């Protein structure tokens, strides 16, 4: 079987599945793709997008694993296999809905679920070195699907001095480079991250970084204020009913992360449950109505993205288009705020350019897996701070 699958890689094109579960902890995305070629000359077509939301209990358990005060080794160990089975099921369902059989698929490529991301070593504990942890065991996925499975990409970049994030710029270049337009690819998942692609860019021209919170804080605020009845602000309707509190917004934007220069990355370690609880406490002390709190959280995300564009990107690169993807692309209030803050730029969604807004990152992980299997370096040192290009990924056999 192994040799038969490897022989598929020598065909003019292959079918693969990319799996993505992000910091928003809202579910697993699966993208069935057709890939022709490899490296920066790859031609990628999305055949089918599948998404399976996490139920509320699973989402809460994952949040608990991301918090040192509520996590433990046993829960991480069990969830590592539980999620792998969920990921494998998503791949199988996506392939069936695409009208393909498992034998058509050359490989599955999984990002995994980030539990902890520590791009800098602890100054006080020599054992807490730069590291990252994504769970969703690759061997379980490989055995259940019967396909080669690639994953655990981040550690290779960190091993050569990078932050292990962001990983999507490599795929962004393949999917969105333009001969004459400067583009900023802004993904708004749990965390916001951007890739800057100058006109007619090559790999060395890219730069990328995490802009800060994406949907993570908005979602937690909505869940708390609704008493658990809502998990997110659909279409930004609740935020549209309120007004951002400018004083609280100013305090949020004073966080040291936003003053750092790229490369930089972040996650729930800085902007997770504890941060959101503090935000809610300050808002309630100020007597803000619920709609105003949601509007402030939404404006926070919009401002961090716009400020990053103005302060960190525009001095280095002309930006003609800002292209939004991820769950935030469905939040009309967030997009309106962002357009108002960046009136000189054309604001688009990935869907308007032919790639489903929610599918982009899953597609890119299929691209990363394809190049891993061919021994092609697939990180972007300009984005992660790595000392050199390297092949990211690990392989599990079926």
- Across the chain, where does the E strand assignment appear? 13-21, 27-36, 43-53, 105-118, 131-135, 148-151, 183-188, 191-197, 207-213, 321-325, 346-349, 394-396
Q: Is 20 helix (H, G, I), strand (E, B) or coil?
A: strand
Cβ contact 378:372 at 8 Å: yes
Structure tokens at 216: 């993570």
| Residues contributing to the annotated binding site | 22-29
What are residue 116's DSSP bridge partners?
133
Classify the C-alpha dihedral 272-167-156-363 as positive or negative. positive
Q: Which DSSP state fits 69? A: T
What are residue 62's DSSP bridge partners?
none
What are the distances in angstroms from CA 58 to CA 26, 144, 171? 9, 21, 30
DSSP H or E run through 57: helix 56-65
Alpha-carbon distance of 210 to 342, in angstroms, equals 18
Q: Which of 354, 346, 351 is nearest to 320 (CA)?
A: 346
* Residue-by-residue DSSP string for 145-162: HTSEEEE--HHHHHHTT-
Provide the Cα torsion 26, 274, 208, 346; round to 10°.
Answer: 70
Buried residues in 168-188 as b, exposed as e (16+ CB within 10 A): bbbbbbbbbbeeebbbbbbbb
| Cα Rg of the chain, angstroms | 20
Cβ contact 351:49 at 8 Å: no
| Residues contributing to the annotated binding site for ATP | 22-29
């Amino acid at each position: 079987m192994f040799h038969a699958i490897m022989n598929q890689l020598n065909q003019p094109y292959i079918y693969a599945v990319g799996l993505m579960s992000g910091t928003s902890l809202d579910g697993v995305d699966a993208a069935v793709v057709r890939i022709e070629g490899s490296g920066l000359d790859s031609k990628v077509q999305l055949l089918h997008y599948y998404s399976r939301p996490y139920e509320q209990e699973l989402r809460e358990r994952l949040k608990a694993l991301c918090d040192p005060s509520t996590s433990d080794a046993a829960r991480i160990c069990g969830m590592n296999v539980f999620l792998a089975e969920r990921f494998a099921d998503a791949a199988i369902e996506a392939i069936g809905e695409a009208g393909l059989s498992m034998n058509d698929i050359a490989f599955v490529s999984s990002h995994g679920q980030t539990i902890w991301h520590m791009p800098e070593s602890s100054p006080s504990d020599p054992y807490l070195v730069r590291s990252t942890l994504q769970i969703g065991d690759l061997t379980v996925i490989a055995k259940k699907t019967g396909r080669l499975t690639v994953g655990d990409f981040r550690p290779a970049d960190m091993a050569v001095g990078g932050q292990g994030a962001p990983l999507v710029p490599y795929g962004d270049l393949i999917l969105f480079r333009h001969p004459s337009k400067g583009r900023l690819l802004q993904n708004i998942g749990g965390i916001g991250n951007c890739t800057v692609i100058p006109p007619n860019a090559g790999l060395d021209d890219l730069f990328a970084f995490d802009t800060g919170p994406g949907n993570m804080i908005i979602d937690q605020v909505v869940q708390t204020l609704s008493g658990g009845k809502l998990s997110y602000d659909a279409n930004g309707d609740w935020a549209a009913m309120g007004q951002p509190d400018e004083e609280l917004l100013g305090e949020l934007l004073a966080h040291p992360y936003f003053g750092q220069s790229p490369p930089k990355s972040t996650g729930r370690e800085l902007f997770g449950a504890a941060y959101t609880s503090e935000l809610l406490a300050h808002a309630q002390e100020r007597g803000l109505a619920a709609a105003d709190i949601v509007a402030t959280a939404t404006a926070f995300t919009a401002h961090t993205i716009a400020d990053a564009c103005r302060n960190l990107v525009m001095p280095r690169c002309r930006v003609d288009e800002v292209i939004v993807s991820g769950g935030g692309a469905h939040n009309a209030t967030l997009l309106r705020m962002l357009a108002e803050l960046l009136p000189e730029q054309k604001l688009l969604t990935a869907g308007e350019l032919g790639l489903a807004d929610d599918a982009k990152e899953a597609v890119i992980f299929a691209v990363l897996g394809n190049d891993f299997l061919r021994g092609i370096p697939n990180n972007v040192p300009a984005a992660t701070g790595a000392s050199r290009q390297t092949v990211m990924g690990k392989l599990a056999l079926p």
